[in-house]
Structure formats: structure tokens, C-alpha cells
Chains A and B, each alone.
Chain A
Amino acid sequence: MSIDEPSLARLMAAAQRGDRAAYRALLADCRRWLTRYFARRIAPHAVDDLVQETLVSLHRKRATWDSGRAFLPWLAAIARYRWIDMLRRQKDEAELGEGDAAVAAGDEAVNARLSLERLLGLLPAGQAQAITLVKIEGASIAEASRITGQSESLVKVNIHRGLRKLAGLVESE
């Protein structure tokens, strides 16, 4: 079963009216969509936490979706906000946990326009690279410095600046 915009929008409209069955179906679909959305864009062991946090935000902010507008761009804005928030909270040099096999992204790509790659692509290359290596792939600052040729302090500065810039770009296409 594919996850498509019209049926999500229908379920969400029903959920706003208080329809629990529709809401359960919506959350299950969003869970699958989000798992793919975050795949390979956060340390694999963090994907579940991030999906849960995003579902909680969806729940708390469910009144901010306007049924006159598309659902997925709304969900993507919330997901991007939670993603950046988690990247910021993550300690550098996070150790890869047990069972950190990469989460398969699946064949269905998320809408490229809404994707996290697209968001990272808005950053200068050095910042995007530092964030990807350290915050997403779990490299240490020293390793990232070797790979990128940036000094260790530049890696840190690039991560800091890049995350700050990302926070202002959440809703950019």
C-alpha cells in the first residue's frame, strides 16, 4: 500500500474531528513515511526516537494543519524541525550503538522536494560535509578533520554554523 497525499489529507481531516480509527491509520502511515524520511540522515539507532518525537509533535500541533493545504509539506516541516533539534542535542563523537545496521531507505523515495538531502544541499559544502560526517554518520571530530581536510576547530565551527543556518531554512524548498 502506498502512502499518498490525498488519503493522508483525508485521514488527517478526520483526525482533527476526533476520529480515532482514522488517526491510528494516519499515525501508522506517518510512521512508515518518517522512517524512510529519516533513513541515512541520522544515526540508525536514533531513527526510532526521532520518529517517536516527530509523531508526538504531530499530535501536539495537529491543529496547525489547514485542510486547505497539502499534508506532506506540513509533516515534512515538523520532521525537519525535530531532525535539526536532535542533531543539535546529539553529542559529538556519538558512539554507534548495537544493531546500528543502516536502515534501508526502501524503494519509494520520499518526495525529493521535501527531503532532508535537499535541505542539507542549501548549506555551503564544508558545513554540510561536517554535519553529515559527525552528526549523521557518527565520525569523530578528528576523523572528520582527516576526511575533509578541515582543521578540527573548523569542523566544529562548520557544524555549529551549519546547524544554526539549517534552523532558519526548515521551510525552504
Chain B
Amino acid sequence: MKNASIDELIEGLADDLGPVRPRRIARGWLLVGAGWLAAAVLLLRAFGMRHDVAAMPEMSMLCFWLIAAVAVAAIGSALRMGLPGVGRDYSGWRWAGLAALALPVAALFVAMGDGRAAAQAMHDDGRCLFVGLLAGLGVGGALFAWLRAGAPTSPTRAGWVIGLAAGASGATVTALHCPVDNIVHIALWHGGAVLIATLAGRLALPRWLRW
């Protein structure tokens, strides 16, 4: 190709042209929503749902929606990254992520107030972490497929945001499963899945997202 003239290249590309279906953000949302739902159904069937989902204590309810907001913001940013354009802004997820830091910060103060109770809350068999990471694969896989076919101009940033979206969406599934209403537990084990997924996204994905 290096030696072919640009004229030949243009002829070749034109001959190769077939109709394409323009990618639309709305279809991306459908894809991701399906991934989210499928992961939730599978894992809640396997591990069970907390019995009082409809009447969760306020604090757990608040955490659930806070994390869900992070997931939605990160998914929105990641979907938009697939359709590039100078002048686009993808920073929405940062603000949602920053707001969600309220969770670990609050947990830290609670833990400092009552160290013994906090230490007890930290005990866990790792199931919440596991459920969160596994449940994140639905959204993570959908976003990864979307961005592989798209054109993210910063694969590194795309890796971060896919990881965050996967982790946060997985943590919402954990919240429906886990009956522990303790902010230290939620910040550590549910939030831990978000952190791990975000780092994993950054480390594993960029090389597959270059084009």
C-alpha cells in the first residue's frame, strides 16, 4: 500500500464500499442495557437476591442509586467515545465518580468512630467482590464491543471508563444481592469491585482498542 499512489488507493476503497449502518448512541444504550440486565438476572438467580429489595434501608438504597448514577454517567461517556469529533467532551463521568467518593469518605469517618464494629464489617468471604466483578462483565463486554467497532481517539481513557462503567454496574447488582447494611462493608467490598474493575480496564483494554 505504501507504494501505491493515492489515486489507486481511492479507487480500491471505493470498490470496497458497501453500505454501512451508521452507529447511533441509542442503539449502544440498548446493547449495554441488555448486558446489564442479563448479568443481573444470571447472578441474582445464582446467588440470590436480598429478601427486602423493595424495602431496603435508606442508607443501602442511597448507596445503590449513587453507584447506579456513576455507572450511567460512565456508560454515557464511553458510548460517546465511539463516535469521535473534535470538540466533544467526555468528562461527565469524572463528576459522577467524584460525587461517589462520598461513599468511601463517609465509610472512613464511620470506621474511625468505631474501629471494632468497622473491623467486623470488613470481614467477608469475598462473595460481594466476586459477584460485583462478575456482574460487571455484562456492561464491560458490551462497551468493549461497542468501542472496538467505534473509533475512540484515546484508548487509554476508553479503558479507564469501560472499567469504571463495568465495576459500577456490577456493584449495583451486588447491592441487590448483599443483605449487609453497613457503609464500611459497602465501601470496601462493593466499592472494591469498582476500583479493581477500573484498574483492570485501564491495564487490559487499551491495546485492543487501538485502530
Contacts and interface: CB of A to CB of B under 8 A. Distances in A.
A60 B211 contact: yes
A45 to B, nearest CB: 12
Interface residues of B, number: 36
B156 A73 contact: no
A23 interface: yes
A92 interface: no
B184 to A, nearest CB: 35
B76 to A, nearest CB: 15
A41 interface: no
Contacts of A15: 17
A16 to B, nearest CB: 5
Contacts of A17: 19
A87 to B, nearest CB: 14
Contact of A52 (B6, B83, B157): B6
B18 A63 contact: no
Contacts of B83: 64-66, 69, 74
Given A64-B83, A66-B22, A24 B150 contact: no
Nearest to B8: A52
B85 A77 contact: yes
Given A60-B211, A63-B22, A171-B84, A24 B10 contact: yes
